[in-house]
Every structure is written in C-alpha cells, then in structure tokens.
Amino acid sequence: MSKRQLSKLTLTQFAMLLTVGTVLVRLATLGFYPLMDTTEARYGEMARIMFETGNWVTPMFDYNVPFWGKPPLFTWLSAGGFELMGVNEFAARVPHLVVGVLVLALTWLLAAKIRQKHEAWLATAILSTTTAFIVISGAVMTDTALTLAVTLSMVSFWLSWEKGSKLWGYLFFVGLAIGMLAKGPLTMVLVGISLVMWLAQEQRWRRIPSCLPWKGGSIVFLIISLPWYLLAEWKSPGFLNYFIIGEHIKRFVVSGWQGDLYGSAHDEVRGTIWLFWFLAALPWAPILMYQVSRFFRTGEEGVQSTNGYMDYLWCWMLSPMLLFTMAGNILPSYVMPGLPALGLLVAGYHSQQKLSDNVFKVGLVTPVLLIITAFLLGYNLTGKESEKVLLSQWAEQAEKDNSELIYIKKRPFSAQFYSEGKAKLYQDPLTGLFSEPTEDTFFVLEKGQLPSDFLWDKSRCELRAESNKRQLVHCKAS
C-alpha cells in the first residue's frame, strides 16, 4: 500500500489493517529462525519429548526427569502443534500465536461491548503492535497462555458486573482454571490484586456476593484445573511442594533463590519490573504517559467514566508491577498479562481527548522490526546462536546413526531439540575419553576453550563441522 493510500484511511481502517498486518507478519516469521536458547529451546524440547513419549501428564526436563517448574499448558500447545504438523519451529510456535490472537479478540470484544467498535479496533491495534506482546505471542513460552487466562477473567468479570451475564460469570472461573494450567496460582493473584483495588473504591465491594456465580463457578474451576494437579502429584510425588512453595513463594521472596532445579534464578534490583514494563510496552508507553499528563494539565485527571471502566483498566494494567515490585527473581515477560489493559487505556483516553491520527502510525515500526529481527536471527547475524546450524551438518554425517553424540562441559537446550534428544552431556574429567573411545563418537566442544585434558589421537579423530562457537569432531573407536 502506498503512502498516499495509507493517508486516505480512516483511523479505524488503519487500526484494522495494522492489527491484521502485524499478526500476518508474525505468522510468516514463525518458521524462519531456529528455537533460541534458552527459554524457547528448553520448552520446545519438553514439548518434543511429550510428543515422542506420549506422556501428556508430566512435562519432562529431560528423559525421565520431570519438570515441576510450570503446569503443562505451554507444553500441550507445542506438542499439539507437533502432532498436527511434525516437529519444526513453526509447529512449536503457531499454537502460542493462536492464543495471542484470542487475547486480541477478547480485548476487541470488551471495548466493542462497553464502548464503540472504532475504539475496540484501536485498542486491538495498539496491543498487537506492543513489542513484547506480539513477540512473546509467537514464542514457545508460558506467558501468552497466562495472559489469555487473565484477560478472559478480567473481561468476563466486567461483562458480568455490567451486563449481569451469568455466562460471562462462569467464564470468569474458566479463565482462572486456564491460568492454573498455564502458570498456577499466579493467575488468581494477578486477577485478585486487580479486583481488590477496584472493588475497594466507592463501596463496590458490597456487590461481591451477587456479581459472580460463586458456587457454580467454583465447581467449574475445580473440574477444569484440579484433575491435572492430582495426576501430576501421583505421577511424580513432590511436585506440589516444589511448585507451590518453591516457585510461588521462595522464588519471589528469597533473593537469588538457590532452590531452582532447572537453572539459575534471576536476581534483579528491586523495582526493575517498572523498567521492564516501559520497555515491553513500547512504542505505546510514552504515548500513554503523554495522554495522562494532558489530563493533569487540563485539570481533568479525576474525570472518569461513571461506571469506573478506566479505573478498572488501570488496576488491571498495574497489577503485575505491584506484585513484582519487591521481587528480585523476575523476567521482562512478567508484565505481559497487563498489556491488554494498556491497549484499552490508550484507546479509551483517545476517545476522551483526541490525538492526531498520525500518532498511531508509530505502530508501523513493530511489523518492520519483526521482519528485521527474524532476518537477523534466521541468518545468524545477531551473535545469539542456536545449535541448528551445527547439528544440521551432524545429521548429514554417514556415521550419525552408529555414533554417540556427546557435548563436552555444556549442552544447550537447542542441542537436545535439534538432535531429537540424542545429544548427551559429559561433565566428568576428560582424561582418556578421547584417547581411548570405546565406540565411534561425535564430540562437540566450544572453540578456544579446549580442556587441558583434551587428549585425542588425530589419526582417529577428525574435525567434521563447526559453527561460530563450537566444533564437531568425530572419533573412531580404537
């Protein structure tokens, strides 16, 4: 579309085009680059093991090593993609993007039912072009499913509150149940913080007994979420203690928590979550701040809709930051459940005090950045390397089926995924491993970091391939 044609579009038409275009660009990039270490490759490998073994109850960190860190919804999504489309990057990622599209649909639905359709499309366009939202929605991570759960509960609560809809009241509990399968009790905490802050105002708490179908909804919640938790504890005893106490209490209150069974905890400066929010909400965070400042300058900072809709959105958006302000073990993706509210807020403020339509063209930067980033990752131009390149060369070796594949000292998660679980890790002293191999073996080791006991007979060992960081050596048995 030419610049002239673009300028002739109404803001609503532009928002529709921007939403659809951004989602299609993200869809087109899903299979263009490898699963990247560590998060995507780790979760992708768990899904591959689930698909291979047929164990749909317990996600596996490695063969016969249960993963207690997260519920299985993220694994089910990618493993389901493998069932339908085979084991590849597109199949691993596209179910998560579908979940992201559902979040966009719920965001549109709330604004369309409560406000106007033009505001609904603008809110959806803003959310779809928020960098963290669209990037994470196309990645193998847990946060998109969590965001769907929180969004469904928050949208359902409001529609139940405003419309008196029993169906939406039950969907509130469905959202909480999805969250329990996506990331656990964190969903109820985030939704709870949002609702407590909002209900505490103007004596709204008086309507709590009648605003939701508490008894029937609680039964729906338990029917959806409880069976997996009972099965998981039965299949791997100790899961509930680690997941509930370790992951949901110690991870956030114990700085540099050392109990993590699956990696290192992230120890950030307290309050860093607010910086993460600003970066994750680009390019829209500065625009929201500007909109709020305009209301203060005109003395209308207290002017809100009579039903408290904008207050509700603020409580929703701020809940992740309020929860994690004093937490050190955090990631930027933790702010994602509040991003739908960001889109609704910017669109809502625009309806009250118009901005120039040209302001919203800043959203065009996001699909452009998606294309550039996918190109850089696909052609290995970022310095962040996956093992796909090296292992594609390993897969072409004639001895592949009759030789072990051993990574020395360090084995990235992408090595497990792209070797279909064949890559093994060797961390013991290396004396004799190379000089007297008992069977034909492919060794993978980092360049420039050859161990002092790297003693291999070059008459039997041959360099077969290399990537930017590692070398693939084949050694024949003596």
Q: Which residue has the higher pLDDT, 325 or 384?
A: 325
Report the distance separating Cα 91 and Cα 458, nearest Å.
41
3-state secondary structure of 7: helix
Q: Mean pLDDT across the stretch 416-427?
A: 91
Does 106 score more than 90 pLDDT?
A: yes
Q: At what angle do helices 143-163 and 166-182 cross, to 10 degrees?
A: 160
Tens digits of residue pLDDT in 313-336: 999 999 999 999 887 778 899 999
The pLDDT assigned to 463 comes to 86
**Which residue, chain included where needed, has tokens 């504890």?**
233
Report the distance separating Cα 400 and Cα 79, nearest Å.
26
pTM: 0.92
Q: Mean pLDDT across the stretch 264-285?
A: 86
Report the distance separating Cα 196 and Cα 185, nearest Å.
16
Beta bridge partners of 442: 405, 474
Beta bridge partners of 117: none
10 Å CB burial of residue 383 (0-12, 13-18, 19+) is: exposed
Does 428 score more than 60 pLDDT?
A: yes
The pLDDT assigned to 165 comes to 87
Report the distance separating Cα 174 and Cα 184, nearest Å.
13
Tens digits of residue pLDDT in 123-132: 999 999 999 9
DSSP string across 92-139: HHHHHHHHHHHHHHHHHHHHHHHS-HHHHHHHHHHHHT-HHHHHHHTS
Does 422 score more than 90 pLDDT?
A: yes
Tens digits of residue pLDDT in 226-235: 999 999 999 8
Highest mean pLDDT among 25-29, 348-352, 377-381: 25-29
Contact in structure between 84 and 96 (CB atoms under 8 Å): no
DSSP string across 337-386: GGHHHHHHHHHHHHHHSPPPGGGGGGGGHHHHHHHHHHHHHHTT-SS---
Contact in structure between 391 and 433 (CB atoms under 8 Å): no
Q: Mean pLDDT across the stretch 13-23?
A: 96
Mean per-residue pLDDT over the chain, rounded:
88
The pLDDT assigned to 34 comes to 94
The pLDDT assigned to 20 comes to 97
pLDDT band at 437 (very low <50, low <70, confident <90, very high): low
Tens digits of residue pLDDT in 152-210: 999 999 999 998 889 999 999 999 999 999 999 999 999 999 999 999 988 899 999 99
**Which residue, chain included where needed, has tokens 């993220």?**
74
Q: Which residue has the higher pLDDT, 425 or 382?
A: 425
Does 256 score more than 80 pLDDT?
A: no
